[in-house]
Amino acid sequence: MDLFPLSFHASLEEKCNYGEEPGGIKTVMKVVPPSYHHHLDVFSKVKAEKLTPHHTCDHHIKLEGSLPPVDVIYFLSNHESETLCAYISENLEKALIRPSSSSTGKPVLFVKKNDDGLHLCFDYHKLNVVTRKKRYPVTPMNQFLTILNSYITFFKIEFHGAYDLLRIEEGDENLTTFRTKYGSYAIWPEQFSFSILISCELYLCSVLGNYFSSLFT
C-alpha cells in the first residue's frame, strides 16, 4: 500500500509552536524520519490540544422533538469527583468547554478502564432520542475485504485528540451542556456520546476523498 502524504506550503517556523512541549522540536526530530520532517507540525501536542476553526463538516444537532428536560446530577465517588474537577479545569484552560446557562443539561458518569483508570462519559441518551438521525453510505464488508486482500502492507495512524476536536456547529453548543456539582458547561468539540457522528466521516472524505477513489476501483 502506497502512502500519499499531504502537501503543506507554509514554512515550518510559521506552522509549528513547540515552545510548551518537553524537549521541543529537537525531541520530535529525533523520532520522526528525516523524509517526513516537512510534516513536523502534525506532531505538535500544543497544536493538537487547541480548538480547531469551524469547518463545513461541523457537527450539527437538529432536534425533531422538544428540548429534553434538565436531568439530576449522578452521585460520584471522591475519586470520580477529583477526576471530574481535573477534567473541567484542564478543558476550561484549553477552551474546549465553557460555562453554560442553558435551560437543558445532562449528567456525567465514569466507566472503569482496563488499567483501572476512569473514562468520563456524558449521558446524552435523552438528547439523542430527539435528534434527527443521518445516514452515511458504508462500503459492503465483503467488497471491502476483497479490496484489502490485494494489499500486503498496512499501517495504523494515531492522532492525538483529533477526533474530539471536530467542532460543534455554531449555535448548537448549548445543547451539549453537561451538569455537575461544580457548575454547568457546554462542550465545543464533538463527542462519542452523540448519536450521529457523521461529521467525522464527512471530514475524512473531504481530506482523503481523492485517495478513496483510487482505493475502491
pTM of the model: 0.69
pLDDT above 70: residue 188? yes
How far apart (Å, rounded) are the C-alpha atoms in residues 213 and 210? 6
Architecture of domain 54-215: Roll (3.10)
Beta-carbon contacts of residue 196 (< 8 Å; ≥ 6 apart): 59, 61, 131, 132, 133, 134
Nearest to 40 by CA among 21, 57, 59, 54: 21
Q: Identity (one letter) of the amino acid at 63?
A: L
Quick one: pLDDT at residue 67?
81
Report the DSSP beta bridge partners of residue 168.
Answer: 59
Q: Which residue intervals of the chain bear CATH 3.10.10.10?
A: 54-215
Given phi > 0 = left and psi -120 to 50 = alpha, else beta, which region is 183?
A: left
pLDDT tens digits, 70-127: 889 999 999 999 999 999 999 898 888 999 998 889 999 999 988 889 999 999 888 8
Residue 91: half-sphere exposure toward Cβ, Cα within 13 Å: 19
Cβ atoms of residues 140 and 216 within 8 Å: no
Say if residue 59 is exposed, middle or buried (CB neighbours under 10 Å; 0-12, 13-18, 19+): buried
